[in-house]
Amino acid sequence: MLGGTVGDMSLPLHEIAEANHRILDPFTDAQLMEVGEVARVKQGTRVLDLACGKGEMLCRWAQDFGSRGVGVDISEVFVTAARSRAEKLGVADWVVIEHGDAQTFEPEPEAFDIASCVGATWIGNGVAGTIDLLRRAITSDGLLLIGEPYWREPPSPEAERALGDDVAAVNAEFSDLPGLVDRFNAAGTDLVEFVLADEHSWDRYVAAQWWTLRQWLDSHPGDPLTPDVQTFLDDSQREYLSYQRRYLGWGVFVLRPSR
């Protein structure tokens, strides 16, 4: 779900593919906690997470660092999972998960120390718009976290030819790492830290979905969603193996509004 605009039509497919995932991005639990450490999350830090998925970041940070969180997500399936996770980890008093559209969510101004959008910058029509959405929620010395893909290197001509429009669409949207930082700067923020995914953590995110999808197909013969689920699986493997694994990076970038 990281490679660009994800409309509502594909949400059920992601809910199926990520049924066994807690983290809906290419990070392991260790990398998720590392972001919390580099962003200096501590007892009482107030975190807003737009498009929070299953709320794993808020719940694990509350559990280990003692932070408090508000998460918003449009998927009822993910919101239900996030609330259960908060209960299971004993942090339901500190983590509130709201079901809703992050594009229209209106946080209390300056009520948070950190505001994040990890893997869903389409909610603000891109990086700059998402930074604008988040910025109003934080205090004057608050931080923003953006999880975003970038090109590790441009896709080869062979990959571009093989994937045609897929790569062209992704190409139009993503930058290389310095270009991404330029976009953060142009949106009025400075990069203060980052944690990057690696090939292993990407594999855990993407390849782990394939077996889940096959199990779903095996157990839902004749389901109206079957053709879409099969295409989703085929496309995921083709795109990941043809270009994403080699060329696409991903990270969570810790930003501070420019002073």
| Single-letter amino acid code for the residue at 258 | S
Q: Which is nearer to ligand SAM, 6 or 89 (CB)?
A: 6
Q: Which is nearer to ligand SAM, 25 or 166 (CB)?
A: 25
51 forms part of the interface with ligand SAM (CB under 6 A)? yes
Write out the binding residues for ligand SAM, residues 81-110 only, by CB under 6 A: 101-103
118 forms part of the interface with ligand SAM (CB under 6 A)? yes
24 forms part of the interface with ligand SAM (CB under 6 A)? yes
Q: Is residue 117 within 8 Å of residue 213, measured between CB atoms?
A: no
Stretch that binds ligand SAM, among 19-27, 151-159, 164-172, 234-242 (CB under 6 A): 19-27
| Single-letter amino acid code for the residue at 48 | L
Residue 30 tokens, joined: 């260790």
Residue 22 tokens, joined: 């807690």
Residue 162 tokens, joined: 């093989």
- Which residue among 61, 65, 78, 150 contacts ligand SAM (CB under 6 A)? 78
From the number of C-beta atoms within 10 Å of its C-beta (0-12, 13-18, 19+), residue 22 rates as: middle
Which phi and psi (to 5°) does residue 171 adopt? -55, -40
C-alpha–C-alpha distance, residues 56 and 47, integer Å = 13
Do the strands 189-196 and 46-50 form a parallel or antiparallel pair, or are they unpaired?
Answer: unpaired
Q: Which is nearer to ligand SAM, 5 or 215 (CB)?
A: 5
Name the residue number minimizing CB distance to ligand SAM: 53
- Which residue among 13, 16, 23, 138 contacts ligand SAM (CB under 6 A)? 23
201 forms part of the interface with ligand SAM (CB under 6 A)? no
72 forms part of the interface with ligand SAM (CB under 6 A)? yes
**What DSSP string describes 102-125?**
TTT--PPTT-EEEEEEES-GGGGT
75 forms part of the interface with ligand SAM (CB under 6 A)? yes
196 forms part of the interface with ligand SAM (CB under 6 A)? no
Residues in contact with ligand SAM, total (CB under 6 A)? 23
Q: Which is nearer to ligand SAM, 60 or 68 (CB)?
A: 60
Residue 109 tokens, joined: 């101004």
53 forms part of the interface with ligand SAM (CB under 6 A)? yes
| Single-letter amino acid code for the residue at 164 | G
Residues in the chain: 259
C-alpha–C-alpha distance, residues 174 and 178, integer Å = 11
76 forms part of the interface with ligand SAM (CB under 6 A)? no
Q: Which is nearer to ligand SAM, 118 or 170 (CB)?
A: 118
What residue ranges bind ligand SAM (CB under 6 A)?
Answer: 1-2, 6, 11, 23-25, 51-53, 56, 72-75, 78, 101-103, 118-120, 123
